[in-house]
Structure formats: structure tokens, C-alpha cells
Structure 1
Amino acid sequence: MVKLSVVGIFADLDESAIADVERHVNRKTFAAGTQIIEPESDSSDVYLILSGRVRIVNYSLSGREITLEEIGAGGCVGQLSAIDGQPRSACVIAVDDTSVGILSPANFEKVVKNHPSVAWNVISELARIVRNSTRRIVDVSTLGANERVVAEILRRANNVCDDNGSALLSPVPVHSEVAGRVSTSRETVARVMSTLGRRQLVTKVDTGLFVPDVRRLEEFLSESIH
């Protein structure tokens, strides 16, 4: 059984504190493709991702799926509704077979109040969400669709950049997922990826998408903007 200590908000808890939290948690497994949280629903449980991966999505008025974030083992979702009691603001879907620990709003409140380090980690996580949302708003407001695609690939590359200034994105980013992430079409993503490939800014390899020089990709984006 996966221990709750893998969850980031519990990182500072000792074994006895983890055992205390465990008493309040129900565990459940969702098959890949299953909807875990329905948008606008009144449920307010917090889901702790123990294994697997989930995608947080929303939908435009035209019905286009917009990917907000993907969260793997160690993350959590649903804390906003648990805090303010408002309906869900997004949909959460299991990307892989995913095991979660579920905290009811009342139990989430107990854990936060009983363990100050958890409260601080929740605050830090909410701050991260605000920063990411702000960045996305700026990107959508100031960048064209092509530039948003490049910016997304650059963001991913920066997250895994090695000491040589290169990066391997594994698996290869799925065009539809990138399109949802940056609010554009799959055709636009395919066109931009083709351009990056011709310029040798990215290369498909057996293990993923290789970015040989992250700085060059950043310079390409900067030149495209200006």
C-alpha cells in the first residue's frame, strides 16, 4: 500500500502524524479515462494522488477542452472547494490508472488545523496555482497561438533541462494535449512542431522529444515575439 508520505502537503509530517492523517482517509482507484471530479458538482472532497496521473480540464463556451494542468503522484486536487464550499471549477480525469486517498471537507479541515505544516504546504500549493494561472493569462493575452505552443514546449524543457542545456521530454507531448493546454488547435500544434523540427530545435527520438539546446529554443521564441 502506497504511504501517504508521498503526498507533498504531508512532506513534513513524522510517522505518527501520518498515521493520524491515515485514519481520516478513504482510498480508491480510478481506471484511466475515468472522470474523478465533475465540473460544477457540489462535492467538496480532497483527492490525494498516491499513484498514477490526473488531468485538470475546463471547457470553453464552444465546447473545446482546455487543459489546465496534469498532476502526478504526490499532488492533490479538490482543495479549493473544500476550503470555500463553492462548486467545482474544473473537471478532473484520470490519465493513467490512478490511486487516490480521499479526505472529506471536514476531515481535511481537521488535518490542516491539527498539523500546521500541512496548512503551510496547502498555502504554498495555492500560491503555485495562482502563479501558474497568472502566467497563462499573460500568455493568452500577449502571445499568438504559434508562440504559445513554443512557450509550452520551452516551459516543459526548462523543467527537465540538464547541465548541458538540453532536455528530453518523455513521452513525446501529445498534440491534442498541448493544444488544450495553450488554447489552440491540434493543427496549429502540428504545424509549429514541424517548424521546430525543420530548424532542428527539437528532434524525435525513441525515448521522447529531444531539445538539444534549450537556450536556442528560448531565443527562437523571443525572436518570434518581436
Structure 2
Amino acid sequence: MVKLSVVGILAGLDEEALTDVERHINRKNFSAGAQMIEPEADSSDVYLILSGRVRIVNYSLSGREITLEEIGAGGCVGQLSAIDGQPRSACVFAVDDTEVAILSPANFETVVKSHPSVGWNVIRELARIVRTSTRRIVDVSTLGANERVVAEIMRRAQQVSDDTGAAVLSPVPVHSEIAGRVSTSRETVARVMGSLGRKGLVNKVDNGLHVPDVRRLEEFLSESIH
């Protein structure tokens, strides 16, 4: 059984506190591809991701799927509706087989009030969401589609770069997922990735997409913008 200690908002809780949280949750498994949360649904449960990975998506008026974020083990989804009681603002799918711990709104409130550090961690997570959303708005408003693709690859590489300035994105980013995330087409993503490959800025390796020099990719993006 996966321990609750993997969950970011529960970081810092001792065993006694985690045991208390355990009494308030229900564990559930979702198969890859299963829909966990429907948009506009009235449910307000909070899902703590114990293993696997989920994708948060929304849809434009034309029906285009827009990927807002992918969250792996340790993350959580659904906290906004639990806090304000409003309908769900997005749809959540399991990307891989995923195990979650579910907190009802009442139990979520109980846990936050019983363990103040959880409340602070939730605030920090909400701040991260706001910053991410702001960055996406700026990108869509100021960058062309090609530049948004490069910026997305660059940011992912920055998060996992090593001491030499290189990075491996594993698994290889799926074109449709990137397209949904930066509001463009799969064809545009394929074209940009092909161009980056020809320039030696990225290349596929056995364990993922290799970015030999993240700084060089940053410089390329800066030159493209100007």
C-alpha cells in the first residue's frame, strides 16, 4: 500500500498525523484513460495522487482539448471546488493506472484545520497554479505558436537539467499533449520538433528526448522572439 507521505501537501506530517489523515480518506484505483472528474460536475472531493499520473484538460468553444497540466504521484487535484464549493472547472483523466486517496470536502476541511502545515502547503500549491496560469496567458498573448512549443520544451528541460546543462525528457513528450498545452496543432508541434532536431537542439534517445544544452535552447528561443 502506497504511503500518504508521498503527497506533497502532507509533507512534514509525522506518522501519528498521517495515521489521522488515513482515517479520513478512501483509496481508489483508476485505469489508464479513465475519467476521474467531469467538468461542471457538482462533486467537490479532493484527489491525492499516490501513484500514476493524471491530465487536467479543458475545452474551447470549438471543442479543442486544451491540456492545462499533467500531475504525477505526490500531487493533488480538486482542491478548488472543495474550497469554494463551485462546480468543477476542468476535466481530469488518468494517463496511467493511477491510485488516489479521496478526501470529501468536509474531511478535507477537517484535515486542514487539524494540521495547519497542510493548509500552508495547499496555499503554496494554489500559488503555483496561479503562477503557471499567468505564464500561459502571457505566452499565448505574446508568443507565436512555434515559439510557444519551444518555450514548453525549454521549461520542461530546465526542470530536469543536470550539472552539465543537459536534460532528458522521459518519456518523449507526445505531440498531441504539447499541442493541447500550448494551444496549437499537432502538425505545428511536429514541424517545430523536426526543426529543433535538425539544428541539434534536441534528439531522441532510448530513454526520452535529449536536450544537449538547455542554455542554447533558451538562446534560440530568445533569438526567435526578437
Q: Which residue of 1 aligns with 2:48?
A: 48
Q: Following the alignment from structure 1 to structure 2, what is the Cα–Cα distance between the partners of residues 223 and 114?
A: 51
Cα deviation for residue 140 of structure 1 reads 0.4
Match of residue 138 from structure 1: 138
Pairing 1:31-180 to 2, within 5 Å after superposition = 31-180=31-180
After superposition, the C-alpha distances for 1:18-41 in whole angstroms (9 at most, x for unaligned) are 000100100000000000000000
Q: SS where residue 49 of structure 2 aligns? A: strand
Q: How far, CA to CA, are the matches of 1:135 and 1:30 in structure 2? A: 31
Shift in Å, 1:205: 1.0
Which residue of structure 2 aligns with residue 27 of structure 1? 27
Residue 99 of structure 2 aligns to a residue whose secondary structure is strand
SS in structure 2 of the partner of residue 121 of structure 1: helix
Q: How does 1:183-198 map to 2 (within 5 A)?
A: 183-198=183-198
Q: CA RMSD in A?
A: 0.4
Superposed displacement of residue 206, structure 1:
1.1
Spell out, residue by residue over 1:66-117, the C-alpha distance to the aligned partner (whole angstroms, 9 max, x if none). 0000000000000000000000000000000000000000000000001000
- Runs (5+) with no aligned partner, structure 2: none
What amino acid sits opposite 1:52 in the alignment? G
Displacement of 1:44 after TM fit?
A: 0.1
One-letter amino acid of the counterpart of residue 116, structure 2: P
Q: Which runs of 5+ in 1 are unaligned?
A: none
Which residue is 1:206 aligned to?
206
**1:153-202: CA deviation from partner (whole Å, max 9, x where unpaired):** 00000001110011111111100000001000000000000100110000
Q: Per-residue deviation at 1:223? A: 0.5
Letter in 1 for 2:185: S
Deviation by residue 1:108-160 (Cα, 9 ceiling, x = unmatched): 00000010000000000000000000000000000000000000000000001
The CA deviation at 1:207 is 1.1
Residue identity in the other structure for 1:97: D
Q: Distance in 1 between matches of 2:104 and 2:41?
A: 15
Percent sequence identity over aligned pairs: 85
